[in-house]
């Protein structure tokens, strides 16, 4: 796949020089450099080849700014890094938002953080920050925001019109589960336009990373996605291990899988409860909390915390698992298997629930690709993309599990997929417990101070919400030079305005809930 693609790029795209790189070292298969005038040709080529835009990020190398476009395909991983160097004095680049809808927000983010102006972008207003920034925060040197850019960034102002009115769904609202604000332009009970406003929980983890060492940043990972903290932990640890080429003992790999899968079940359970509460049924919420409590107790025993875990270390684990953990996990798995029939009776078979969720928020395959959605939302559209299988990491390749997919792409499908994923997670845990090897839980001789070689890596993991990508650039110091988090909820929320168009307010709440958003992860 990769070789064929390189040949094709050479033949089709003028002046492009793709190079194959080692996937184990870098986390991507192929790299290529381009210039602003050739960008649209390159992007057009990937669009035609049915690639999706995984991530768009910027790095300030002081001499130049580098925009990195990561393209990938869903079913056979072939990640291509397209780099575009631009002048830091006059940072201008062509926008690709017309070709890839997912670039729409990424470009806005880069604009407010780096001051890169994307020509042809329809709306360069603030995404995370709010009026009054005087310097671009992510630049390595102090670059003031010029007044015309200030005006551009401040341009989001919804105005009332006759026959329509605006409703603020959030930032404090029972159904946004956190501080997300969605400005809804309403026509009676119907939504004409939905515009998410982010940044109420923005903490600039990416900037924090640049001021810390690799170890110091570890606790931050659990604070982004507080419901899937283990997955974020795992992704970061894997990325640094790839960067520094640290080997991981087998026992640690399996324990990581058990902990991450327990956390995944926990997250999905909470989603089921919160989602049903969105639809007006409050009882399932308490039932799932009962189940969830068992997981929290088990994980607390080894990780020390119940929510924002920081359990994994570079080269292994913080703590070896004990018999209590294994017995507790076994007991939980046994109990959980018997609980599905209860949820089936209470929720899945409920005629009101089915009528509320069937046929709404339908996502087509092409739409999913354009927006770069991932996780259960992507799989509901019928694309069997689960990174645990497609780009296997840790020890997932030795374990047997299915990728549940939906047939309609509607909200009901995402519910069924999440339930099925919990069953598969239980299967994974059972196998991992059976195979759990002895031996050390920590790699020998991991230096206290990590000084990785110069260069960049990309690492993906499948979190409960979808694809998490971590891009790290090292400059041989003991902290990252640049760290970018490609978070699943961010991409999944991007599709919401399109799904919400023309639906009833009640359906919009049901659709928003089905995306399973975790706000601190979107805002970072």
- The residues binding other proteins (CB under 8 A) are 165, 167, 173-175, 189, 276-283, 285-287, 290, 346, 350, 352-353, 355-356, 504-507, 509
Q: Where does residue 147 rank: exposed (0-12), middle (13-18), buried (19+ CB within 10 A)? A: exposed
- Considering beta carbons, is residue 103 or 499 the nearer one to other proteins? 499
Cβ 493 to other proteins shortest distance, Å: 18
Cβ 165 to other proteins shortest distance, Å: 6
Residues 6+ apart with CB under 8 A from 256: 234, 312, 317, 394
Cβ 191 to other proteins shortest distance, Å: 12
**Pairing label, strands 80-86, 30-34:** parallel
Cβ 163 to other proteins shortest distance, Å: 14
Cβ 519 to other proteins shortest distance, Å: 16
- Considering beta carbons, is residue 413 or 430 the nearer one to other proteins? 413
- Considering beta carbons, is residue 327 or 352 the nearer one to other proteins? 352
Token pair for 406: 């939906």
- Are the C-beta atoms of 120 and 100 separated by less than 8 Å? no
Peptide bond into 171 cis (omega under 30): yes
Cβ 276 to other proteins shortest distance, Å: 6
- Considering beta carbons, is residue 131 or 341 the nearer one to other proteins? 341
Nearest CA to 416 out of 449, 379, 364 is that of 379
Nearest CA to 185 out of 501, 520, 426, 415 is that of 501
- Considering beta carbons, is residue 173 or 223 the nearer one to other proteins? 173
- Considering beta carbons, is residue 216 or 355 the nearer one to other proteins? 355
- Considering beta carbons, is residue 143 or 167 the nearer one to other proteins? 167
Max CA pair span of the chain: 71
Residues 6+ apart with CB under 8 A from 15: 34, 35, 38
Cβ 362 to other proteins shortest distance, Å: 16
Cβ 95 to other proteins shortest distance, Å: 34
- Are the C-beta atoms of 336 and 265 separated by less than 8 Å? yes
What is the total residue count of the chain?
524
- Considering beta carbons, is residue 72 or 414 the nearer one to other proteins? 414
**Pairing label, strands 165-169, 181-187:** antiparallel
Angle, to 10 degrees, between the axis of helix 323-343 and the axis of helix 250-278?
30
- Considering beta carbons, is residue 21 or 506 the nearer one to other proteins? 506
d(C-alpha 443, C-alpha 338), whole Å: 38
DSSP for 190-246?
EEEEEEEE--TT---HHHHHHTS-HHHHHHHHHHHSSSSHHHHHHHHHHHHHHHHT-
Cβ 346 to other proteins shortest distance, Å: 8
- Are the C-beta atoms of 473 and 58 separated by less than 8 Å? no
- Are the C-beta atoms of 192 and 501 separated by less than 8 Å? yes
- Are the C-beta atoms of 468 and 76 separated by less than 8 Å? no
Cβ 513 to other proteins shortest distance, Å: 8
Question: Which sign, positive or negative, has the C-alpha torsion 165, 127, 459, 237?
Answer: negative
- Considering beta carbons, is residue 122 or 280 the nearer one to other proteins? 280
Cβ 505 to other proteins shortest distance, Å: 5
- Considering beta carbons, is residue 187 or 397 the nearer one to other proteins? 187
**Per-residue exposure over 414-427, b if at least 16 CB sit within 10 Å of its own CB, e if not:** bbbbbbbbbbbbbb
């Amino acid at each position: 796949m990769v070789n064929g693609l390189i040949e094709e790029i050479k033949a089709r795209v003028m002046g492009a020089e793709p190079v194959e790189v080692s996937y184990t070292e870098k986390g991507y298969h192929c790299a290529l450099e381009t210039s602003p005038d050739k960008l649209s040709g390159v992007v057009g080529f990937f669009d035609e080849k049915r690639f999706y835009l995984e991530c768009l990020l910027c790095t300030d190398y002081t001499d130049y700014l580098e925009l990195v476009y990561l393209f990938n395909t869903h079913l056979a991983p072939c990640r291509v890094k397209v780099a575009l160097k631009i002048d830091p004095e006059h940072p201008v680049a062509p926008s690709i938002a017309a070709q890839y809808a997912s670039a729409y927000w990424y470009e806005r983010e880069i604009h407010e953080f780096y001051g890169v102006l994307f020509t042809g972008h329809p709306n360069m207003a603030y995404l995370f920050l709010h009026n009054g920034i005087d310097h671009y925060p992510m630049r390595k040197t102090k670059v003031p925001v010029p007044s015309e850019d200030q005006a551009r960034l401040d341009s989001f102002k919804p105005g009332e019109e006759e026959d329509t009115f605006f409703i603020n769904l959030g930032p404090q609202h029972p159904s946004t589960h956190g501080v997300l604000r969605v400005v809804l332009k309403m026509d009676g009970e119907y939504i004409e336009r939905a515009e998410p406003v982010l940044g109420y929980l923005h903490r600039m983890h990416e900037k924090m990373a640049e001021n810390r060492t690799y170890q110091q940043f570890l606790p931050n990972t659990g604070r982004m996605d507080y419901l899937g903290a283990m997955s974020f932990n795992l992704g970061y640890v894997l990325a640094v291990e790839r960067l520094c080429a640290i080997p991981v003992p087998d026992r640690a790999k399996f324990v990581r899988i058990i902990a991450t899968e327990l956390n995944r079940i926990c997250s999905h359970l909470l989603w089921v409860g919160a989602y049903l509460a969105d639809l007006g049924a409050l009882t399932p919420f308490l039932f799932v909390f009962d189940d969830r409590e068992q997981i929290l107790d088990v994980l607390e025993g080894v990780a020390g915390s119940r929510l924002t875990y920081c359990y994994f270390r570079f080269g292994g684990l913080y703590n070896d698992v004990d018999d209590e953990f294994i017995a507790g996990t076994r007991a939980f798995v046994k109990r959980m298997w018997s609980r599905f029939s209860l949820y089936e009776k209470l929720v899945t078979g409920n005629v009101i629930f089915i009528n509320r969720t069937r046929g709404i928020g339908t996502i087509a395959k092409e739409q999913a690709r354009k927006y770069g959605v991932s996780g259960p939302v992507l799989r509901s559209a019928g694309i069997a993309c689960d990174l645990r299988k497609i780009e296997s990491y840790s020890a997932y390749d030795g374990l047997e599990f299915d990728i549940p997919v939906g047939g309609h792409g509607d909200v009901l499908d995402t519910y069924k997929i999440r339930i099925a994923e919990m069953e598969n997670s239980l299967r994974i845990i059972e196998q991992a417990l059976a195979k759990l090897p002895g031996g050390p839980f920590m790699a020998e001789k991991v230096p206290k101070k990590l000084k990785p070689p110069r260069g960049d890596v990309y690492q993906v993991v499948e979190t409960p919400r979808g694809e998490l990508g971590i891009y790290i650039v090292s400059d041989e110091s003991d902290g990252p030079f640049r760290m970018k988090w490609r978070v699943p909820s961010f991409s999944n929320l991007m599709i919401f305005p399109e799904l919400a168009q023309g639906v009833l307010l009640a359906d919009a709440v049901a659709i928003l809930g089905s995306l399973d958003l975790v706000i601190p992860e979107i805002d970072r």
